[in-house]
Structure 1
Amino acid sequence: MSESGKEKWCSGCKRDLPLPSFAADKNRRDGLQPRCRGCVAAYGAAHYRRRREAQGKPVRERVDVPQGHKECRTCGEVKPHSEWHRNSTATDGLATRCKACKAVQGRAGHLKRHYGMTEAQRDAMISSQPGVCTICLAAPAIHVDHCHKTGKVRGVLCFNCNSAIGKLGDAPDSLRRAVAYLEGNAWKPTLVAPGVYQLPS
């Protein structure tokens, strides 16, 4: 401790530094660690690097990140805090992946969970269509369509066509009647009992 009592000698970098530069250590007489925070961090980083290299694992290079920014562990880009979701459990209050990477991984996870397919399989299906909705043959194919009973993927449709067949309950008979109606051949049902209708053959 220096004469002023407001500085302390760091045994690592051999400098007198302000007391806030040292982390607390209740086992020490002065209540502070013998090395400054910078030296402790550097030692920890070196130890981490040696351990990772010994395990044959890749070591991420340390990047100088400006104030108000953070490096994404997935894409490696340094982005402002506005590009991150909040995470109250993290030490810096931010998620480990940027919003863009989280969105990409979220879409991939959604495909796997709901349809049992990868993005590559979906893209191959779109290419085989080729790139357009299989119903209207005009709009881009962006929505995976599947049978709600069997779970089998049928194709990739545009938003309008996908929602249309869904609202008709994926029922082929309803769709056939819709086609007949559009062509001017509406099937008029006959009421045979309360709530019971008979369709023309």
Structure 2
Amino acid sequence: MTDEPSAKVCTRCKWELPVAAFARDKNRRDGMQVRCRKCVAEYGAAHYRRRRESEGKEVREKADVPAGHKLCRTCGEIKPHSEWHRNATASDGLSTRCKTCRAAQSRRDHLKRQCGITEAERDELIASQGGVCCICSAAVPEHVDHCHGTGKVRGVLCFSCNAALGQLKDRPDAIRRAAAYVEGNAWKPTLVAPGVYRLPS
């Protein structure tokens, strides 16, 4: 039985390299590919580039990423692994987008799912309100308000005004009484008989 060779010449780069530099190929007599792993990777990258360009698609450049970091293709920033959620199914064990980009996508998805509008439509609504909450006309609008019955978007409110509507359960009669109360016209019931009260109309 002959000993297996310890080195092999790559047919592309012509370097004599250790057999560990070649991937397995059971169809070859020596059981290894004719090109080294590096040349195979470079050929694959060049083929990928040509195919993407022929399809008119963007070709992503390989980024020089230091150890313990990863490039987010959404925001284009290189961030440490602590800025990524875990994903056991991924080859590197990390999500494809950083935590910041995932959170932004989650907000967009929630807005579309809950209110049926995009961020651009929300921004147009805020601009039409003059950039302020449409109830207090002072605070920065942050929360899209919609009718829970019809789902129709009514406007964008500040946190306090949105919370106030929620506490008053979106009831116009309760909101009117609250306004009258604040203006000094308290809606108090009048005793007309023992145990019988009349509410103001």
Indicate the TM-score class for this superposition, using the shorter chain for normalisation.
0.7 to 0.9
Per-residue displacement from partner, 1:32-66 (whole Å, max 9, x unpaired)? 43333222211111111121122222211222222
Map 1:1-201 to 2 at 5 A. Answer: 7-28=7-28, 31-189=31-189, 199-201=199-201
In 1, distance between residues paired with 2:27 and 2:198? 89
In 1, distance between residues paired with 2:31 and 2:198? 89
Q: Structure 1 residues 20, 84: closer, same or farther in 2, change over 3 A?
A: farther
The Cα shift of 1:180 comes to 2.6
Which secondary structure state, in structure 2, belongs to the residue aligned with residue 155 of structure 1?
strand
> Which AA in structure 2 matches 1:46?
A
- Range with bigger deviation, 128-137 or 100-109: 100-109
Q: How many residues are paired up? A: 194
> Which AA in structure 1 matches 2:171?
A
Instruction: Provide the residue aligned with 2:194 in structure 1.
Output: none
Q: What TM-score comes out, normalization by structure 1 length? A: 0.81
Which secondary structure state, in structure 2, belongs to the residue aligned with residue 85 of structure 1?
coil
Which secondary structure state, in structure 2, belongs to the residue aligned with residue 94 of structure 1?
coil
After the TM superposition, list the runs of 4 or more consecutive aligned residues in structure 1 that deviate by more than 6 angstroms. none
> Which AA in structure 2 matches 1:128?
S
- Range with bigger deviation, 12-21 or 60-69: 12-21
In 1, distance between residues paired with 2:80 and 2:34? 34
Alpha-carbon RMSD across the aligned residues, in angstroms, is 2.7
> Which AA in structure 2 matches 1:143?
H
Among the aligned pairs, what percent are the same residue? 69
Which secondary structure state, in structure 2, belongs to the residue aligned with residue 121 of structure 1?
helix
In 1, distance between residues paired with 2:159 and 2:98? 28
> Which AA in structure 2 matches 1:41?
A
Q: Unaligned regions of 5+ residues in structure 2, if any? A: 192-196
In 2, distance between residues paired with 1:184 and 1:124? 37
> Which AA in structure 1 matches 2:107?
R
- Range with bigger deviation, 74-83 or 113-122: 74-83
In 1, distance between residues paired with 2:150 and 2:138? 28
In 2, distance between residues paired with 1:23 and 1:118? 49
- Range with bigger deviation, 63-72 or 30-39: 30-39
Which secondary structure state, in structure 2, belongs to the residue aligned with residue 39 of structure 1?
helix
Per-residue displacement from partner, 1:47-99 (whole Å, max 9, x unpaired)? 11121122222211222222222222223332222222222111111222222
- Range with bigger deviation, 127-136 or 105-114: 105-114
Which secondary structure state, in structure 2, belongs to the residue aligned with residue 82 of structure 1?
helix
Which secondary structure state, in structure 1, belongs to the residue aligned with residue 145 of structure 2?
strand
> Which AA in structure 2 matches 1:180?
A
- Range with bigger deviation, 4-13 or 41-50: 4-13
The Cα shift of 1:26 comes to 4.5
Q: Unaligned regions of 5+ residues in structure 1, if any? A: 192-196
Q: What TM-score comes out, normalization by structure 2 length? A: 0.81
Q: Structure 1 residues 188, 64: closer, same or farther in 2, change over 3 A?
A: same
The Cα shift of 1:30 comes to 5.2
In 2, distance between residues paired with 1:86 and 1:20? 31
